[in-house]
Amino acid sequence: MHWRCFVPFTVCLFQTVAAATQFPLVAHPGLPTNTNSGLTIYSDAHNVITNLTGANYIFNALASLLQQLPNSLHPSGHTMVPATIDAYTLLYHARPTKAQPPSPEWLAFDPEMSYSIMAGLPWGDGPHLSTYAATRDLKVLYFDGESAVLTGDGALDTQEVVIERKGQIPPPGWGWWDDYSRLDRLCKWANNSKLDVDGFIRMNTGFEVMWCDFSTGLELISHLNITPPETPPLQKFPFPFPPRRRPTGHLDDLNITEANPDLKELKYTSSGEPPSRPPRGPRWDRARSPYIISSGFEWLRIATHRYELPQPHVRLLTSGLLTLYDPQFTSLLPTREAQPMSRHRVWANISEEDAGRAVDTLEEILRRGSDLWDRRGIDWNSIARDVMEKWGDRIAQMHAAFDNEGPTGKNATAQMEEVRLLAYTLLNPYLDTRDLPPYFNQSDPEMWLPPTMFRCTTAPTATIPMSRLTQQEQLLKAAIETVLHNLCQMVGRILVSSIEAGSKEKNEELAESWRKEVKDMMEWLDWSMWVRCDEQCGWDEVCAVATWPVWGPRSGGPDRGYGPQCVNFEEWIHRGPRW
């Protein structure tokens, strides 16, 4: 099985490629600009910002909220967004006991996630599934990235910084993988800070909810024993694991490690440092009921439904979006130079001053009351996704047009014709041709290009009054305009330079120039839509990237490999997931 990624910079091979994006974009070495083209014409009267440092990262995070694929490719989240889960949404909790869950605990949006986690446990009363319905809009805080992957490679960074108000503080208890301790600490932070938050949304293979108090906001709909047929007798080991209220306990106290030697690797090293990689769960499921061997595949299948469409039943309140890609957090800027987005870290690099300011801002946002939770404002996530949908596939087609390898390779003239048509299509809605001569090569670009560039850059934001925007929204507006500014300038230069086409030598020169410009732009944007399986998977397959804890290498870091490929149901149930 082959797989395709149009951008070598992305997570195709997780290679580090120089991308000095922490400088104003008009001086970005990877995005060459023509200072004589007259493209930069904006004045303060328009409140247009086109040189926001880190705009590509902010835009990427904004467009990727609550989507599985981009957050799997960029696991080290930097962004926190208040959100509400719609009233009457169904949520699920499975556990291998008859008892109802204590508070706090986890909920899943999909029963496949809850079932797969608990179905193969060899102890308890068998898996019991509780189904809840939200009795009102539930107020939550969403952490982006792979924020539920138990690793010290960056996925949990923002949560630890929020809790401790600083970085470089090793998590207590069993370290990075002690999620019960983290759940307790997050809920205590929200309660002690008097924040109007019921829980937290995170993602690993699918999205989950960390719920602080089961006595509020939820109605129990059903509580079923869903133990699979032909399940062998269960042992009476304690649950949860690790045991509740004992985050500093030891595995030896449970007498489990002798039966499951794989668990011993979860202990700290002699240095006392918490393990940085997530634990690999013991493969006890292969010895349990034959009816559970596909549960992991079905969990993965459901997660892939969220690859490009956001998790449903969740309303993002982007007026309160806080991102640590905001250039005001200056301690993080130099650490991103020459690093792809997949390698960015918060916990390891943020200064105490920046961390404190970020948490203060987050707490202020979460105390806005009805101005936050009841505000029906601008859907910035949809605006960013609209931009990505309009531009992404056409930019990818431009990139593919310059592929001279194989029997479908095009000569320079054919390449230029295809790319010129794509550039014109992208600019057509903003190009007023009333005063143009019949042919482009007879026109003066100085007359029609500057206003075209302005309309192209400001199309989704021109009517939005700055006076109505929060400080966080002003940052999002600037990020969108900066990204569009660079995109519009690129296709504008292509369209103008196409006037010079003619001789074979000139066409080859222009084609090479365009090829490099498109490649640089795609590397700078690093959009997940350019990462996909190169052929349509069958109905018994899902196109998936590595995603802990269901499928892929154990490491949660950027070098874990496993690009997108079709994962086969039959192979899964007979061989298990490929690690």
**Residue-wise DSSP of 22-54:** TS-GGG-TTS---TTS------GGGT-----TT
CA nearest to 475, candidates 311, 361, 552, 315: 361
Neighbour-count burial of 510, counting CB atoms closer than 10 A to its CB (0-12 exposed, 13-18 middle, 19+ buried) = buried
What pLDDT, in 10s, does the model give residues 23-78? 233 333 334 333 333 333 333 335 678 889 999 999 999 999 999 999 999 999 99
Task: Give per-10-residue mean pLDDT for the chain (579 aa).
Answer: 40 30 31 35 54 95 97 96 98 93 96 90 86 98 96 94 95 88 96 96 97 98 92 69 39 36 36 42 56 90 94 97 97 92 94 98 96 90 97 96 67 88 95 79 80 95 92 97 97 89 82 94 96 92 91 54 83 74
CA nearest to 22, candidates 272, 421, 332: 332
Give the span between the Cα atoms of 181 and 176, in whole angstroms: 10
Which tokens hold the place of 228? 């699979």
What pLDDT, in 10s, does the model give residues 74-94? 999 999 999 999 999 999 999
Which tokens hold the place of 365? 């946002």
